Amino acid sequence: MTAAHPAPPSVPAPDERPTRFDDALRGRCQERRVPALSAAVGRGGQMVWTGTAGWAPSTAGTAFRIGSITKPMTAVAVLRLVVAGRLGLNDPVGRHLADAPAPDATVAQLLTHTAGLPAEPPGPWWERHGAGSWDELVASGVEPLWEPGERHHYSNVGYAVLGRLLEEAHGRSWDAVLRDEVWAPLGMTGTGRTPPGDAAVGYAVHPDADAVLVEPVAAYGAMGPAGEVWSTPADLVRFGSWLVGAGDGAGAGDDVLPLAWRRRMATPRAVVDDDVPFTAAWGLGVSVHHGPGAVGGPARRTVGHGGSVPGFTATLRADPATGDVVAVCGSSTAGFGDASFLLDLLDGPVLAAAEGTGGTVDAEPGVLGLAGTWYWGPTPYTLSPLADGRLDLSATDGRSTVFARSSEGGWIGVEGGYWRGERLRPVGVGTPAEALDVGTFHFTRAPYDPATAVPGGVDPEGWRPVPVPPAAGPAAGRGPEA
DSSP 153-192: ---HHHHHHHHHHHHHHHSS-HHHHHIIIIITTTT-TT-B
Compute the distance between CA of residue 301 and CA of residue 254 in angstroms, rounded to an integer: 23
Higher pLDDT, 411 or 428: 411
Confidence at residue 294, expressed as pLDDT on a 0 to 100 scale:
56
> Looking at per-residue confidence, does 481 or 234 come out higher?
234
What whole-number distance in Å separates Cα of residue 449 and Cα of residue 373? 13
pLDDT band per the 50, 70, 90 thresholds, residue 129: very high
Q: Tell me: the pLDDT tens digits for 429-474?
A: 666 789 999 999 999 999 999 999 999 999 999 999 998 765 554 4
Residues 209 and 397: their CA atoms lie apart, in Å, by 20
Helices (H), 325-371: 340-343, 365-368
pLDDT of residue 132: 97
Task: Please report the pLDDT score of residue 409 as a whole number.
Answer: 82
One-letter amino acid identity for 320? Answer: P
pLDDT at residue 134 greater than cutoff 80:
yes
Beta partners for residue 325, in sequence order: 42, 318
Q: How far apart are CA 373 and CA 213, in angstroms?
A: 20
Half-sphere exposure at residue 130, Cβ-oriented, CA atoms within 13 angstroms: 9
Which residues lie below 8 Å from residue 93, measured CB to CB, with a gap of 6+? Answer: 100, 102, 103, 105, 106, 107, 110, 115, 161, 165
DSSP string covering 400-437: EEEEEE-TTSSEEEEEESTTTT-EEEEESSSSS-SEEE
Question: What is the average pLDDT across 188-214?
Answer: 96
**Residues 352-361, mean pLDDT to the nearest whole number:** 32
Separation of alpha carbons 188 and 207, rounded Å: 35
Q: Taking the domains of the chain in order of start, what are their residue ranges?
A: 15-352, 365-463
> Higher model confidence: residue 417 or residue 358?
417
How far apart (Å, rounded) are the C-alpha atoms in residues 249 and 299?
Answer: 26
Answer whether residue 87 shows pLDDT above 50.
yes
**Residue 436 neighbours by CB under 8 Å, 6+ apart:** 370, 374, 383, 424, 425, 426, 427, 442, 443, 444
**What whole-number distance in Å separates Cα of residue 268 and Cα of residue 286?**
9
Q: Which amino acid is at 263?
A: R
Mean pLDDT of 304-323: 94
Q: What is the per-residue pLDDT across 257-275, written as a single tens digit (0 to 9) for each?
A: 999 999 999 999 988 876 5
pLDDT tens string 243-257:
999 875 556 689 999
The helix/strand/coil state of 463 is coil
What is residue 78's three-state secondary structure?
helix
CA atoms within 13 A on the CB side of 335: 18
Give the DSSP H or E segment for 392: strand 391-395
pLDDT of residue 475: 44
> Shortest CA distance to 179 belongs to which of 73, 284, 262?
73
> Per residue in 263-285, is it b (16+ CB within 10 Å) or e — as a string?
ebbbebbbebebeeeeebbbbbb
- Is the pLDDT assigned to residue 353 strictly greater than 50? no
**Terminal CA-to-CA distance of the chain, rounded, Å?**
28
Q: Which residues, 6 or more positions from 98, have their beta carbon under 8 angstroms from its beta carbon?
A: none
- Comparing CA positions, the residue from 404, 385, 386, 384 lying closest to residue 394 is 384
Could you tell me which residues come within 8 angstroms of residue 244 by beta carbon, excluding any fewer than 6 positions away? Answer: 262, 266, 303, 318, 319, 320, 323, 325
- Where is average pLDDT lowest: 9-13, 157-161, 286-290, 298-302? 9-13
Residue 155 and residue 117 in contact, taking contact as beta carbons nearer than 8 Å:
yes
Chain-centroid distance of CA 419 in Å reads 15
Report pLDDT digits (tens) over 42-72: 998 999 999 999 999 999 999 999 999 999 9
DSSP secondary structure code for residue 200 in this structure:
P
- On the CB side of 9, CA atoms within 13 Å amount to 1
E strands, 280-324, in order: 280-282, 287-291, 300-309, 312-318
Q: What is the pLDDT of residue 468?
A: 73
CATH class of 15-352: alpha beta
Instruction: Give CA–CA dist 373/104, Å, rounded.
Output: 40
Choice between 433 and 5, residue whose per-residue pLDDT is larger = 433
Q: What are phi and psi of 374, to 5 degrees?
A: -125, 155
> pLDDT category, 95, cuts 50, 70, 90?
very high
| pTM passes above 0.75 | yes
Between 39 and 5, name the one with better pLDDT. Answer: 39
